[in-house]
Chains A and B, each alone.
Chain A
Amino acid sequence: MESLFPLGIEQYLVGGLLVGLGISFVYIMTGLVSGVSTAFTSTWSFFSRDTTSFFRREKFLSSRTWRLSLVTGLMLGALVYLVFINGGESTVTSLSMTRLFFGGLLVGIGTRMAAGCPSGHGICGNAMLEKTSFISTVTFLSVGIVVALLTQSIF
């Protein structure tokens, strides 16, 4: 057990259950599914004038404001953790700007192409027993592991 979880299991398990409760709260109150990555596309719709554009599809126009509320909540919740649990002490990543930017770029393209990310497919879609979400989850986990191991051996 210790070798599988060098930092223990409490933080992971409690954190995961809280994530599930947050997503459940949104669903019980509004019926909406808290996938995060759609916010990247729906936010671009504010800047798009062309009514035939992909960014202005009904799905994005009708959800763009609540998706910004969800993102605001994500940042607020982490801020609450920072201030009340972690004593205001933030840790800054040591990963290079290049890795963060190009990683983020692929995350943006890939999640939109697959119509979902770990929250949309990995948690919500799987909880709805969607076949597409199961396939997506298995794929991004496998590729993620291979690329992370390769990146580690190269850099």
Chain B
Amino acid sequence: MHMNTKKHIAIILGGTLFGFGLAYSGAAVPEIVLSFLRLEDFGLVLVIGGALLVTLITFQLIPKLLSKPLLNGTFATSSRLSVSKWNVIGAAVFGAGWGISGLCPGTSFAAIGMGNWPILIGIIGMFIGAYVYGTLRNKGLTGIE
């Protein structure tokens, strides 16, 4: 099998586990995310904490154990960027949208898989938002990436 095909299959499989986990955890339900942000249910701390624990071990340990990924390529490592004002402004704008809708990119795609169709409106909003941001960059706005 072509290496590129294998790579895509691996990403779809990993993504499937990722999406299943989001669905299982309840994080793909915007009402549950909002109950966390209103400080009524702290479950989301355990979702992010559990995922962070596993990825922390993987990202810190695997590049020391393997010389390269199993399907070739190189391990992405920290880029040690210095903090920009755009990290703070962007995260604040995202936080406002998150607080209004209970949606973030990953959980919204998982919500569609769970048959929660109205979330498609949120995803359309995200695509338009990314277009607006890219257009601002084309018009000379500075930023990161």
Interface residues of A (CB under 8 A from B): 4-7, 9, 11-34, 36-37, 39-41, 43-44, 53-55, 57, 59, 65-66, 69-82, 85-86, 90-95, 97, 99-115, 117-119, 121-124, 126-132, 135-137, 139-152
Contacts and interface: CB of A to CB of B under 8 A. Distances in A.
B129 A57 contact: no
Contact of B90 (A92, A115, A137, A152): A115
B128 A29 contact: no
Interface string B2-18: 00000110111111111
Nearest to B11: A69
Interface string B115-132: 111110111111111111
Given A77-B19, A117-B94, A28 B69 contact: yes
B100 A103 contact: yes
B126 A78 contact: no
Given A81-B114, A107-B104, A143-B92, 17 more contacts: A7-B26, A13-B47, A13-B50, A22-B17, A22-B18, A26-B10, A27-B59, A27-B75, A36-B104, A41-B134, A70-B14, A93-B30, A97-B118, A104-B129, A128-B59, A143-B98, A152-B38
Contact of B129 (A13, A40, A71): A40
B138 to A, nearest CB: 5
Given A18-B24, A70-B11, A77-B20, A93 B91 contact: no
Contacts of A102: 97, 100-101, 125
B105 A106 contact: no
B80 interface: yes
B24 A11 contact: yes
- Max chain B C-beta neighbours (<10 A), residue from A37, A39, A77, A140: A77
A122 B48 contact: yes
Contacts of A101: 121-122, 124-125
B53 interface: yes
A91 to B, nearest CB: 7
Given A107-B103, A108-B127, A113-B90, A74 B110 contact: yes
B105 A36 contact: yes
Contacts of A151: 99-100
Contacts of B116: 90-93
A132 to B, nearest CB: 5
B8 A66 contact: yes
Contacts of A28: 58, 62, 66, 69-70
A150 B129 CA distance: 23
Interface centre among B68, B82, B114, B128 (most CB of A within 10 A): B114
